[in-house]
Homo-oligomer: A and B are copies of this chain.
Amino acid sequence: MRTVFWENDCLKLIDQRRLPEALEVVSLHTLMETAAAIRSMTVRGAPAIGAAAAFGLALAARSSQARSASELLAELEAAGETLKTTRPTAVNLAWAVERMLGTLRSTSGTPTELGKLALAEAQRIADEDVQVNRRMGVIGAELIADGDTIIHHCNTGALAVVDWGTALGVIRTAHEQGKRLHILVDETRPLLQGARLTAWELQQYGIPYEIISDNMAGYFLRMGQVQKVIFGADRIAANGDVANKIGTYMLALAAKDNGIPAYSVVPASTIDLSLAHGGLIPIEERSGAEVLNIQLAGERVTPKNAKARNPAFDVTPNRLISGIVTENGVVYPPFEVNLPKFVNPK
């Protein structure tokens, strides 16, 4: 089953807030439902929200009353702005919106024809995502040795993309190749994507793992028990600075301090050459309630009236990144020089 797919004239998503307790699929019929699902993290993971946004535009096109192609295009451009504001950090969302609009702009036809084209293009984005993930898996698996213990941050598996996974896709491919792996799963506070989603996926795949709290990663690195650190990214700047789920910086720093390589695994669409460095990447700050209460349990674990901060991402400076795995190959430093060679031509 895909995480994001089109069925019976609507967009279907695995509800990631309900796992691992329940595997539930929600059906979305409108642009606004799609935007709300991205904002609430019913769907999450940079590539997955890109695909969801593409289908959201297809939903907007189908329900449009526009009488001309240009009227429809204006509506979809507004819809694209709505989608882009839901989660500002991951570039894949903006990338998917721009790709959808670019395709529609370069085509002529009736609103109905453009609506069909929008759905076909969204479907193509989703299908390509799966192929790209499979390619990254094969390329990245070459970096993984038999017997490796790997620390993995957040969720980058099938649930974070359309299918297969980025960093977790590399782990899955290495496992398929018969390499014996042990994964230390960062729980990834505050929303516990590691403890809930990555642990659930690894259990499905039969890959041995143990959950650790994020602050334990340094302990295992210092004890010499870890050979690789691996994560995805939500946006990579032109110099190789990596914006990814909060906690990535401290993890990559601890890896560096112990001489352990740290790899970011991303589709090339995650690389944003328009930003010179990571300081220019907008960092979303979410509600403090996600820190004050434990997700799912919904139980407050902090004093009444306590306040919290909740930056959802951080930027890991390029000096801490050993390599960036893309579907076009592994990019090594100096990233300023090498990254442009691995980005897909427009």
Which of B254, B301, B314 is A219 in contact with, Cβ under 8 Å?
B314
Given known pairs A210-B308, A309-B220, the reply for A294 and B291 (CB within 8 Å) is no
Q: Is the pair B253, A212 in contact by a Cβ cutoff of 8 Å?
A: no
Whether A307 contacts B189 by the Cβ 8 Å rule is no
A281-339 residues at the B interface, CB under 8 angstroms? 283, 288, 291-292, 294-297, 299, 301-311, 314-315
Do the beta carbons of A222 and B249 come within 8 Å of each other?
A: yes
- B-side contacts of A307, CB under 8 Å: 209-211
- Stretch from A4-12, A32-40, A192-200 that touches the partner: A192-200
Nearest residue, chain B, Cβ from A245: B215
Q: Shortest beta-carbon distance, A46 to chain B, in Å?
A: 18
Q: Give residues of chain A (245-297) contacting chain B, Cβ–Cβ below 8 Å.
A: 246-247, 249-251, 253-254, 257, 283, 288, 291-292, 294-297
Residues B301 and A297 in contact, CB atoms below 8 Å apart: yes
B249 touching A196 by the CB < 8 A rule? no
Given contacts A20-B302, A196-B302, contact A189 B214 (CB under 8 A): yes
Q: Is the CB of B309 within 8 A of A195?
A: no
Give the distance in Å from the alpha carbon of A213 to the alpha carbon of B315 in the complex.
Answer: 16
Contacts of A301 in B (CB 8 A): 192, 195-196, 294-297
Shortest Cβ gap from A305 to chain B (Å)? 7
Smallest CB gap from A278: residue in B: B222
**By the criterion CB–CB under 8 Å, are B303 and A210 in contact?**
no
Q: Check A211–B306 contact: CB distance below 8 A.
A: yes
A174-213 vs B, Cβ < 8 Å mask (1 yes, 0 no): 0000000000101111101001100110010000011111
Query: Is A218 at the interface (CB under 8 A from chain B)?
Result: yes
Closest to A153 in B: B215
Q: Does A101 contact B (CB under 8 A)?
A: no
- Distance in Å from the Cβ of A303 to the closest Cβ of chain B? 4
* Residue from B212, B299, B303 in contact with A203 in the complex, judged by beta carbons closer than 8 Å: B303
A205-242 CB mask vs B (1 if < 8 Å, else 0) is 00001111111111110100000000000000000000
Chain B contacts for A302, CB-based, 8 A: 20, 195-196, 199, 211
A185 to B: closest C-beta gap in Å: 9
A249 touching B253 by the CB < 8 A rule?
Answer: no
**Option from B291, B295, B303 in Cβ contact (under 8 Å) with A212:** B291
Chain B residues with Cβ below 8 Å from A249 are 218-219, 222, 254
Residue on B nearest A219 in the bound complex, by CB: B314
Q: Which of A209, A250, A307 has the most CB of B within 10 A?
A: A250
Pair B215/A247 contact, Cβ less than 8 Å? yes
The chain A residues found within 8 Å of chain B, CB to CB, are 20, 184, 186-190, 192, 195-196, 199-200, 203, 209-220, 222, 246-247, 249-251, 253-254, 257, 283, 288, 291-292, 294-297, 299, 301-311, 314-315
Given contacts A216-B247, A250-B253, 20 further A-B contacts (CB under 8 A): A186-B215, A189-B189, A189-B213, A189-B214, A195-B291, A195-B292, A195-B306, A199-B302, A199-B306, A203-B306, A209-B306, A211-B292, A211-B302, A214-B215, A215-B215, A215-B250, A218-B247, A220-B309, A294-B299, A297-B301
Selected A-B contacts with CB under 8 Å, 28 pairs:
A20-B304, A187-B189, A187-B291, A188-B215, A195-B292, A196-B303, A203-B305, A203-B306, A209-B306, A210-B288, A210-B309, A211-B302, A211-B307, A211-B308, A213-B246, A214-B215, A218-B314, A219-B246, A222-B249, A222-B314, A250-B254, A253-B253, A253-B257, A294-B297, A295-B301, A296-B299, A297-B297, A297-B299
